[in-house]
Amino acid sequence: MGYETKLWLVVVFLLSATYMQCFCVVGVPEVPCLFIFGDSLSDPGNNNKLATESKVNFLPYGIDFPDGPTGRFNNGRTSVDILTQTLGFEKFIPPFANTSGSDILQGVNYASGSAGILKDSGQHMGVHVSFGSQIHNHKAILSEITKKLGGPDQAQQHLNKCLYYVNIGNNDYLNNYFMPEHYPSSSKYSPDKYASVLIQEYATHLKELHAVGARKFSLFGLGTIGCVPQEILTHGKEGSPLCIEEETSAAFIFNQKLIDLVDRFNDELPDSKFISVNAKVTITKDLKSLPSPGVFDSVCCKVGPLGLCDPKKEAETCRNRKEYLFFDAIHPTEMVNEVGAKNAYNSPYPNYAHPMDISHLVKL
């Protein structure tokens, strides 16, 4: 089981090169606006000016990004950057921390590195913007949108057509539940109970978004967090499977509850549509038939104690970045993000997205 879980990332992200084509018509977005909520997997620089260890506005981060280091936690574009392009937007959605000169009618990115569904998750690293606070920031932006469009009715009509992208929850495990030296959650809750606590809080926040006009929701499940290099380094045991099965199993409990939440909200809120992406994946292919996954046992840059790239060792960053799954010890490379974004848009096989993928959601 450990070997299969270890290669889950390979299956998810590298299974089908046929999905690497671009589905977009740049300049003609499939939705008028995109609002983004999440953690470091989606953060475009919202943490840059915060008092936190979770910020990466320095090289080698951004080494493959057109503007260099922006605060994105990898070598280039994030998954939602690539999805933004796939949907046909000419520019990336701006960070909430810097919307000056940007067209907020096309959307805002509120994601914050180390943020979680729970307010406490990730706080040992310093200041961040939790999911609840991201929604508070969104409400402030909505006030500006209402003014721009001439009233609440016009704003509601606009927002009803927008795509709401939510990718959060990893830090509630990596930087909370499986960090007992900082948080008591694992001693208070079983994995099943903890997932229920998270989903309950998640549901409350989603209802807040619905109340202010959100109607199209793409919710991303958690990955094989037990296969993250930093987790293997800090929690792995000699002689045990490479991946931390306990962590991945706990994340998959959350994923199943997320699917259940999607089904419930689609029944309770018929004026909206919710989908879960990448939340129920099983290995059905012969692993030996996969193309070479490249270097997935190591990371592309030299990292410090927190698993982030060490700027003092920038020169030691790998050159063959397209052959690595992880850029630092926590975050995937742009190559992985590209495949993941394309698969989220156009599901490569059943159960990757439930009950539909993003390409169908945006057409509703």
- CB-facing half-sphere around the CA of 173: CA atoms within 13 A: 28
Residue recorded with tokens 């499986």: 178
Residue 118's nearest CA partner among 46, 56, 177, 191 is 177
Is 40 among the residues known to form the active site? yes
Give the contacts of 151 (CB within 8 A, at least 6 positions apart): none
- Residue 296: HSE in the Cβ half-sphere, 13 Å Cα cutoff: 22
Distance CA 282, CA 203 (A): 26
Distances (CA, A) of 252 to 155, 278, 329: 37, 11, 21
Q: Exposed (0-12), middle (13-18) or buried (19+): which is 284, by Cβ within 10 Å?
A: exposed
From 39, 81, 172, 328, the catalytic residue: 328
Run of H or E including 187: helix 185-188
Identify whether the C-beta of residue 230 lies closer than 8 Å to the C-beta of residue 8. Answer: no
Q: Is 158 annotated as catalytic?
A: no
* Residue the block writes with tokens 């701006």: 94
| Contact of 8 with 224, CB cutoff 8 Å | yes
Q: Which of 39, 331, 354, 357 is catalytic?
A: 331
Write down the catalytic residue from 39, 40, 121, 130: 40
Quick one: tokens of 127?
Answer: 């200041």
Residue 242: exposure state from Cβ atoms within 10 A (0-12, 13-18, ≥19): middle
For the annotated catalytic residues, the residue numbers are: 40, 328, 331
